[in-house]
Every structure is written in structure tokens, then in C-alpha cells.
Amino acid sequence: MTFTTRFAPSPTGPLHLGHAYSALLAHDMAQAAGGRFLLRIEDIDGPRSRPELADEFRRDLEWLGLEWEEVPAQSTRLATYEEAAHDLLERGYLYPCTCTRAEIEALEPRLGSQGAIYPGTCKGRLLDPGKSAALRLDVDRAMADTGELVWEDALAGCQTADPREAGDVVIVRKEAPASYHLAATLDDAADGVTLVTRGADLFAATPIHRVLQALLGLPVPRWHHHGLLLDDSGQKLAKRRGSPSLADRRESGEDGRALAARLRAGEFPAGITLANS
């Protein structure tokens, strides 16, 4: 199998230095392995998606001196997501949930790996075709059938996946035919990804992806969750804390290849890893 990794940004905001680091890492690993480096635009965030940003992203990557192979954007793959969700629903792994965020908060839910753990109010309910509902994973039911699952991270080693730490997460959103978890899992399989490269902030989401792979009979890649770039105050780089976007840097005339060289040389510390994220 050809070594294949990817960079999968969401066009909900501009790319920043952390994205550049992630893309360079994935690109360089693919190049070293004689493999493929894919770009996939994850544009199913409804109103938060700004399609014009995808072009900016391509300009940013070019500016950094990268070459890539672009695979279809998520918005073109909705039928695949619907089909998989339908399959999981028929097999009893998903249940409809009509709760609002406020209703869930009012129950003072426990905090899990992905935020509030859904207290299960709607579990066992049947789909009411007249009402818009999200579909949640019945994680206990899923784990009862899959048994213990393991996955491998290039940095952290072998992991036991316990998606129960996230609770019954949303697999199909009320307003979209998939959640990030379902879409990214299906796409990585469809795109032949053998190594999922992404930031350590998504480490805790991987058990959910691993259980979806088991339920859907998908191939299991390896993962590389890299540390997150820090700013001078030791915090994760973020636009809201004033770190300029790649587009800002590019438009101000900065040399992108020189920036890439500095990132490769480790000039920006990547301090937050899965252990403390």
C-alpha cells in the first residue's frame, strides 16, 4: 500500500502557523516515504464554511513551497455519509436526538473528552420523520459489539480506544448529513490514507473514529498526532490571540519558503502534545 497522508483544513477561518506546521509535516513524511500527500477541504460546516477560503488555502500551501494532490471536498461526498449513517441507524447503533444545547446543559452533564457527555435523554427513541433530529452513537451498544479496540499513534504508541470517554457523540448533525467524526473517518478510508496526520487537539477524537471504522468495516490507518505550536506566552497559537494568518503573512510580502524552512528547523516550539492537551 502506498504511504498516504493528508492535510484536511476546514474553511471556517484562515490558516495560521500551526496549520503550516501540520501541512509541512505531512508533506515531508509523504515525500520521504515516496508516498502521497493529499489536500482535502472539509467544508460541511454549514453557514460557518466560507468556500472562498479554500482558494486562499491553496495559495498558502503554494506559498510555502508545497505540492499536493487534491481529493474531492467533503461537500461533494454527502451521499456517502448518508449511506453510512443509514446503515448504522438500521443496525441500531444510532438514535435520534432532538435536544438543544441548552436542554443538555440544564442537566449539568459530566465533562468528557469531547466536552459535555450527553446524558442519554433520547436514547431508545425512534426517528420521527416530521422532526429534525441529530443522530447519536449508542456507544455502549457499539462497544458491546466491537469489543476492545486498539490503535497506533506514531508518537504515543499503541493505544486502547475507549470512545465511552466521549459519550454518545453526534454522528449526523441536525443541519448536516454527517458530523466531522463520520465524514473524516469515511473520507480517510475512501482516500486510501494510511497515516492520519493532525494536531494533538484531535487525539481524544480518535477513539470515536476507531469505533466507526470497526462498525463500518473500514481499513484502520495509523495516526500521527503532532504537538501544537505555541506562542511566546506558551499558549496554543490562535488568531484570536493575535497570531497572524498565513494569508496575512503572504500578503505582507513575507517569503513563504523561508518560513517553511524555519518551521522545519523547529524554530517555533511545538509544545502541547496529547499528554497535556
Min. distance of Cβ 186 from Zn ion in angstroms? 24
Is 239 a residue of the active site?
A: yes
Stretch touching ligand GLU by CB under 6 A, among 7-15, 28-36, 54-62, 119-127? 7-15
Which residues, 6 or more positions from 198, have their beta carbon under 8 angstroms from its beta carbon? 8, 22, 223, 224, 225, 226
Q: Residue 121 or 273: which CB sits closer to Zn ion?
A: 121
> 53, 54, 88, 97: which one contacts Zn ion (CB under 5 A)?
97
**Binding residues with ligand GLU: total (CB under 6 A):** 7
Stretch touching Zn ion by CB under 5 A, among 22-30, 47-55, 120-128, 146-154? 120-128
Any idea which residue has 489536500 for its cell?
39
- Which strands make up the sheet holding 170-172, listed edge to edge? 94-97, 134-137, 170-172
Contact between 245 and ligand GLU by CB under 6 A: the answer reads: no
Q: Are 13 and 19 in contact (CB under 8 A)?
A: no
Site string for ligand GLU, 32-61 (x = CB under 6 A): ----------x-------------------
Q: Look up residue 105 and give its three cell numbers.
A: 446543559
Instruction: Tell which residue, 53, 59, 49, 50, has the closest CA to residue 23.
Output: 59
Residue 159, binding choice from ligand GLU, Zn ion, none, Cβ under 5 to 8 Å by partner class: none
Residue 42, binding choice from Zn ion, ligand GLU, none, Cβ under 5 to 8 Å by partner class: ligand GLU
Stretch touching ligand GLU by CB under 6 A, among 2-10, 99-107, 135-143, 223-231? 2-10
**How would DSSP label each residue in 205-266?**
GHHHHHHHHHHHT----EEEEEPEEB-TTSSBP-GGGTPPPHHHHHHTT--HHHHHHHHHTT
> 73, 184, 189, 274: which one contacts ligand GLU (CB under 6 A)?
184
Stretch touching ligand GLU by CB under 6 A, among 5-13, 139-147, 152-160, 164-172? 5-13
Q: State which H helix or E strand residue 70 sits in.
A: strand 69-70
Q: Are 211 and 161 in contact (CB under 8 A)?
A: yes
Site string for ligand GLU, 202-221 (x = CB under 6 A): x-------------------
Q: Cα separation of 240 and 252, whole Å?
A: 19
Instruction: Tell which residue, 75, 93, 76, 73, has the closest CA to residue 84.
Output: 93
Residue 99, binding choice from ligand GLU, Zn ion, none, Cβ under 5 to 8 Å by partner class: Zn ion
Residues that bind Zn ion (CB under 5 A): 97, 99, 121-122
Catalytic residues: 239
Residues that bind ligand GLU (CB under 6 A): 8-10, 42, 184, 198, 202
